[in-house]
Structure 1
Amino acid sequence: MNFLPNDTLAGYARTAVDLRARMVDYHRSPLAAQYLQAFFGSRLADRPSPSSGGMAKVLTAVRAITANPWRFGEPYVIAPAMTAIIAAAAAALDLTGEVLPADVAPDDGGVLFLPEPIYHRGVSGEVSSIGAITWARTTNTGSGRSFWAIAGWADHHDAHDPAAVRRRAQLADRPDLARQFGPYVLTDFTEIPIGRPVDPRPDLPVLDGDDRDWEPAPDGRFCIDETTTAMRAWAAVAYAFWRIQAQPLATVAAAPLDRAPPCCAGQHPP
């Protein structure tokens, strides 16, 4: 795990600063660019192939979207005691048809750390951790539309994460490559529009039992089942955090006296 268990809030803050610096270093490495190209290349496989120049522009844009929150964004940490509250709010969230203002997030870019990760199960049944979430307010230069680019990051060292187990198996014969990863690994990416209605989530593919490997979530951890939710898990967690952290804190004021003290009520000694 990237965070020490049972650490203090001050310890979480110090660790978050260190992890953020290590992720900045990772984004300067050749592996970061190679990973992004493979990550987004697989997601564009079912679309018309862009030209080499067009693909270069796409990679430049996503490199900024995924790296800049670590470099310049504000860091936030969810205390473990709040994890279940955030996860429950995220699991019930449905923004379909909602129009989000540009100031719904606390900053134009940021990093949300989860010392106690939230897990999510995809349509294939595979489970992965959400150890950190980044967001960046972005404008499409072609259409002029603005949106929140939200990325989900798995804790690379989470011993309880089934996705980390799969990743270690894939890199078993490349220990040199495994060491080059940062403390978090990009696993998911989505967009939420600003100033226009949020589209409903596309219909999920229908899979039979042979195509689905239903993995159990780690014991005692909250897992969002994406086969039953209206939003992708990491985007819902980010929005739930935005709304909850924006709520004003309760203030404590001195209770009013029910009567004036003697020295103020004319009861002066002779």
Structure 2
Amino acid sequence: MSWNNVSSIQELAAEVAQMVDRPLRVATKFHTVATKFLGDYGISNYALVNMEGALEASTQMGTADCIIDLISSGTTLRENLLKEIEGGTILESTMQLIGNRSALRHDSSDGAFLRGVTQELLERIEAHTLGRDRYNLIANIRGTSPGEVARRLGVSTSLRGVDGPTISAVIPPRGENSGMYAIGIIVPKSDLYHAVQELRQIGGSGVCVLPVTFVFERSSLRWDRLMASLGQEGSDHHRDPQEETLTI
């Protein structure tokens, strides 16, 4: 059965009401929540399919018609040819970090340890949030000098990176000057193909695309805010949009 024409929970309920030969198969780990949600829309002809691991594959395997699961960006859904339907959101949630102000302020080894763990946690979250929507592009390009290559890259806003491109000379096996330079830039995922095209136009070749896991700024905005709320100093360095970032 094709579900291409189903775009809302109401349309799903109407389709299920016409299914007489078998029930709607729903893969989920949240049986109680799923039962209540489907019942609220009058869907009774269904069977819950209990699966471990990634539920997205269940529809491709033919064991389920739809899934009820946790999602973040929706990328995995699209990769498995799935789509969210209108009205199909059961619950929305956000992460909240809850701490003890007195313990964080405490001038002791335990307080220092707690602040250290909290700072690392906040910095990892912040860096991953900054990095998850970016790619690291590495390519070779021939030029007369690093400055000349930088000027060619600077013509396009897509090739300027976060704080500018990284340019270094490529050393051939015999150590001779080949006039070839390796460049590295960070670009938003949405600009990936446009950036690749522009690299080709200025002579770039051998373009490699790497995922960015973390982007650590000079200081952590979330950590500085937390320390300010506790009446303490945050990072040793104040945030400056012109200062470099560390990308991993």
TM-score range, shorter chain: under 0.3
Identify the structure with bigger relative contact order (alpha carbons < 8 Å, sequence gap 6+): 1
Name which one, 1 or 2, has greater alpha-carbon Rg. Answer: 2
TM-score (norm 1): 0.19
